A and B are shown apart, each in its own frame.
Chain A
Amino acid sequence: MPFDEIDRRRFLLLAAAPLLVAQKAVAPRARESMLQMNGYAVNAETPLALLTEYVTPNELFFVRSHWIPRTPNPKKWRLTIDGEVDRSGDITLSELKKLPHAEATCVLQCAGNGRGLYSPPLPGVQWRYGAVGNSRWTGVRVRDVLEHAGVKPSAKHLHVFGSDDPPGKVPPFHRSVELEKVLADGILAFAMNGEPLPVAHGAPLRLIVPGWAGDHWMKWLVRLSPQAEAQKGFYMETAYRYPLTPGAPGVAFKPEEMAPVTELFVKSNITTAPAKARAKHACEIRGFAFSGAPDIAKVEISDDDGATWQETSLDPRHDPYAWRLWSHHWTPSRSGTVRLCARATDSRGNVQPREATWNQSGYLQNSWHFVDVEVTA
């Protein structure tokens, strides 16, 4: 069945009979399992304990929306290409799908994941750990699509537009990405983990920017426009910026003292650890680690607040900018409350810090993740 059909049926059903859909058979582990950060516009994170698979199932993948979007009508949908190109025009989904397909399995993390862990607190969705997932994205290369249009040498930034109009006088979510990055790695995805891209994740087309924070991964794409200058507006010039030279907690910077958030910071989380363990008996600790670098070099855990470290085993499964699952047989040496923490080092040598650098919008939180285990003798 063409995916338009599936989507239309699914969402007609959703609109017509929400109660019916609420009872639709989904895997029991998935039912009522997400942590709702906002009922509308939809924002939900995944509980860490469920982020244990290399590929995060679609139904467990976190969802981020700035507002209730106007999603494209898949039947009428076109991707417009204009700006600094030789041939501007519109492409339909079926034309797009005739281009060679490209695939990337990589991490998508919201720039604000972990905002709720910063102190002093700051306004915004108070994400803790689960605004992240690793997914297989299928689509076509940005490079192939733009080659068709003939990008002029003057173009340095790809302006990207989704169909979602903000409410009231809220500024539009207009963004741009460095052309160099999207020409190298960017994918226009129409499928997620082998399924048609779900509407909550940007159907019919979403920009994939491996290694970069989610604010670049525009959903519900309708227009691409190569331009000489970066995009302007609230979501480029005020939001999604990170200080050039980080200050102390609570110190706010002017926009010009900051630059757009781009690459993810190296980070690991513990997804699996027993609440209780016995001294001198091994137990399994597991988690994931990722970075804006293409791979993770090692993940270590410590049970003495970082004084000594034990190297964990990295799972062999890997793709560039995907996460690495890791596991470790840990044997508690003493009884009492033992505080475990994990720290990752990426393939460029960046080491996860004990304390993430506080910044005024709460982006890229990557402090060591601590978990308590009650150890009995």
Chain B
Amino acid sequence: MKRAAIIVLALAAAFASAATKRSVAFDPNLPVLGTKFHSLPAGTGKQQVEASCFPCHSADMLVQQRLTEKQWTAEVDKMIRWGAVMKESDKPAAVAYLVKNFGPANKFTPVRTRPAGY
């Protein structure tokens, strides 16, 4: 997806989440890296993860992790404490999705990006 579209999407998701007092401290003057972000692979749980996690960080943050189910559960709980909005009933699918795709054997190739701030 195009970068501009993703930012709009991320911002929309951020402003839609009423549970956080001020959802995203997004400084529009600060460059967002790259012309593209990693995207999430298809699968059950993807939607819940995107809706809950993209307000604060791009998919890159998730697709580089190599975590066990225990670690992913702890991460999702930590992020909910930090303001991520996710229904309790959506959590099992989201965690299962993260474990399936970004478990301990996961391999990550970073997007090549333009220099930051230039």
Contact = CB atoms under 8 A, between A and B. Distances in A.
Interface of B: 3-4, 6-7, 10, 14, 20-38, 55-61, 64-67, 71, 74-75, 81-84, 104, 108, 110-118
Contacts of B81: 169
Contacts, number: 174
A69 interface: yes
Given A15-B29, A167-B56, A123 B71 contact: yes
B33 A198 contact: no
A38 interface: yes
B33 A40 contact: yes
Nearest to B75: A123
Interface stretch (A25-33, A80-88, A265-273): A25-33
A136 B74 CA distance: 40
Q: Give the interface SS of chain A, mostly helix, strand, loop or mixed.
A: loop
Interface of A: 11-12, 14-15, 18, 21-22, 24, 26, 30-45, 58-61, 63, 67-71, 116, 120-123, 125-126, 164-171, 198-201
Nearest to A14: B31
Nearest to A8: B29
Contacts of A32: 112-114
Contacts of A120: 104
Given A32-B113, A44-B33, A165 B118 contact: no
Contacts of A36: 33-34, 37, 60, 110-113
Residue of B23, B37, B58 ringed by the most chain A CB atoms within 10 A? B58
Contact of B82 (A31, A33, A59, A170): A170
A69 B25 contact: yes
- 7 A-B pairs closest in CB distance: A168-B83, A39-B58, A200-B117, A59-B115, A168-B20, A121-B66, A36-B113
Contacts of B59: 39
Contacts of B30: 11, 42, 68-69, 71, 199-200
Contacts of A167: 14, 20, 22-25, 55-56, 83
A169 B19 CA distance: 10
B34 A39 contact: yes
B3 to A, nearest CB: 7
Contacts of B75: 123
Contacts of B38: 39
Contacts of B118: 24, 26, 30, 58-59, 198
A199 B29 contact: yes
Residue of B6, B84, B115 ringed by the most chain A CB atoms within 10 A? B115
A32 B114 CA distance: 4
Contacts of B27: 68-71
B114 A31 contact: yes
A125 B64 CA distance: 8
Contacts of B113: 32, 34-36, 39, 44
Nearest to B116: A63
Contact of B26 (A61, A68, A125): A68
6 contacts: A14-B29, A22-B35, A38-B57, A40-B10, A42-B32, A63-B117
A357 to B, nearest CB: 20
Given A18-B3, A22-B35, A34-B114, A40 B58 contact: yes
Given A15-B28, A41-B57, A169 B115 contact: no
Contacts of A58: 118
B20 to A, nearest CB: 4
Contacts of A34: 33, 112-116
Nearest to A126: B64
B81 to A, nearest CB: 7
Contacts of A18: 3-4, 31
B22 A200 contact: no
Nearest to B56: A167
Given A39-B6, A171-B82, 20 more contacts: A21-B31, A22-B35, A31-B115, A32-B112, A34-B33, A39-B36, A39-B38, A39-B111, A39-B113, A40-B32, A42-B30, A60-B115, A68-B24, A122-B71, A165-B22, A168-B22, A169-B20, A198-B116, A199-B117, A200-B30
